[in-house]
Amino acid sequence: MVRFLHTADWHLGIKYAKLGPSAERARETRIRVAEKIAYIAKQNNVDFVIVAGDLFDSNEVDRELIAAASKIVEGFAPIPVFILPGNHDPLTRDSLYLDPSWKSFGHVVICKTKEPLKLPHANVILYPCPVTQKQTREDLTEWIRAEGESISIGIAHGNLRTRGLEDVNFPIDAQRARKAGLDYLALGEWHSLSKCQGEDGIVRTAYPGTPEATKFGEDGSGKILLVDIEGRGAQPVIREIETGVLKWERWWRDMYSVEDVKHLERELTELQEPQLRIINVYCRGMVDHEVMSRLESLEMRHAKNFLSFDIIKDEVHLRPNIVDLKALMPQGALFSRIVDAIGVLRSRYATRETHPEMSPEETQRVLREIREIDTAVTASPEVLDKAILLLYQLAKEISR
């Protein structure tokens, strides 16, 4: 009877382009998760741990990460950890696994060759298929012939060739477990947890997924697998354990009025643990300058609460209320003329509406007046929108 943890795709050192300054924090989280896995391993008294590839996000991550990773795996001691190089951290000459510091751990084995590994204290033979190149069409598991009476566990990293996925990198035969005579085939590469049934209906092949989600849309990630195998030929008992902490969420909201903005704000404030959330709010609608302004200020105010917070306003159209805008300032010489000028400029773009209350002749006159100003002539719709908003905000400040 053997019990082990099956995990993969830790992707330490991964880059989070969209998180900006929070990226580092997010990376930190991944390290915490790995540490947690060590804790879980000890708690569950496992015989060994399998990390089936992509422990590192690439061979080009900061070498300091090796120290961090070392520390993590040290935390597993004395439980043996079998690490398989994956397609992101293949065993090429610049591989991090060649660093001499790995040798200092007695309980860590980097699977470097396609050779069966007999475990010293258990009746288990491991069949690792290390990735030694960045790409290949070869099925690296093909060599496995598991005969004999020991529990045979394969470790591989690649893409199962199930229906619909034909032309892939690192292909793995979907029936490998059966063909090779394996009791269990521990895979890595897919970030969402997924189990593959054999022809006999028994699940011997599984992806644990990444223990911490790496981006939006990775449903079913943030887990590791605890596997028990009674004996040679027995059905593996697979249990899922949650490890992920960060929440990646995408919201879609309509925006038309101040109410909508306020509502959004309420939703946001009600969220628990905002610092563990990564939220993208996709807004859609038509707003006037006041609503837009509020939306922007909402974004600014809440951004710091969350690990990452973004309001995507690509689909939100600004429709400034010229009259209201003008009314903000007492009737002077210049303010309304400036507002008119911007309005006229905006109306040149099809995506923006025409300036109300202005006859075509007046529009022409205004255009002639401002045509010598480069910034006016070359201003994009976004710049014009921003100009209106700025004007609004500054005017508001003064009129208070």
CB of 70 to another protein, least distance (A): 15
Strand, helix or coil at 14? coil
Report the residue number, 10 or 76, with the smaller CB distance to another protein: 10
d(CA 149, CA 181): 11
Strand partners, 225: 6, 240
CB of 339 to another protein, least distance (A): 9
Q: Is residue 311 part of the contact set for another protein (CB under 8 A)?
A: no
d(CA 336, CA 307): 42
Q: Is residue 281 part of the contact set for another protein (CB under 8 A)?
A: no
Both tokens of 64, joined, read 């300091």
In this structure, what DSSP letter does residue 100 have? G
Binding to another protein, residues 355-374 (CB under 8 A): 369-370, 372-374
Report the residue number, 96 or 124, with the smaller CB distance to another protein: 96
The span of 14-22, 139-147, 150-158, 314-322 binding another protein (CB under 8 A) equals 14-22
In this structure, what DSSP letter does residue 10 have? -
Q: What is the CA radius of gyration of the chain?
A: 29
Amino acid present at 216? F
Query: Which of 6, 13, 110, 186 touches another protein (CB under 8 A)?
Result: 13
* Runs of H (alpha helix) within the chain: 23-43, 64-76, 176-180, 258-270, 289-303, 322-327, 335-347, 360-370, 374-378, 381-399
| Displacement of CA 79 from its chain's centroid (Å) | 30
Query: Which of 6, 174, 387, 392 touches another protein (CB under 8 A)?
Result: 387
Question: Contacts with another protein: how many residues (CB under 8 A)?
Answer: 52
In this structure, what DSSP letter does residue 146 have? -
Q: Is residue 390 part of the contact set for another protein (CB under 8 A)?
A: yes
Ramachandran assignment for 204, one of left (phi > 0), alpha (psi -120 to 50 degrees), beta (any other): alpha
Query: Which of 1, 18, 168, 323 touches another protein (CB under 8 A)?
Result: 18
Query: Which of 43, 45, 93, 120 touches another protein (CB under 8 A)?
Result: 93
Both tokens of 237, joined, read 């008992």
Compose the 40-79 pattern: x for residues touching another protein by CB under 8 A, - for all others: -----------------xx-xxxx----------------
Q: Is residue 383 part of the contact set for another protein (CB under 8 A)?
A: yes
Query: Which of 136, 232, 335, 358 touches another protein (CB under 8 A)?
Result: 335
> Kind and range of the H or E element at 180?
helix 176-180
Residues in the site for another protein, rule: CB under 8 A? 13-21, 23, 57-58, 60-63, 92-94, 99, 329-330, 332-335, 337-338, 341-342, 369-370, 372-376, 379-380, 382-384, 386-387, 389-391, 394-395, 397-399
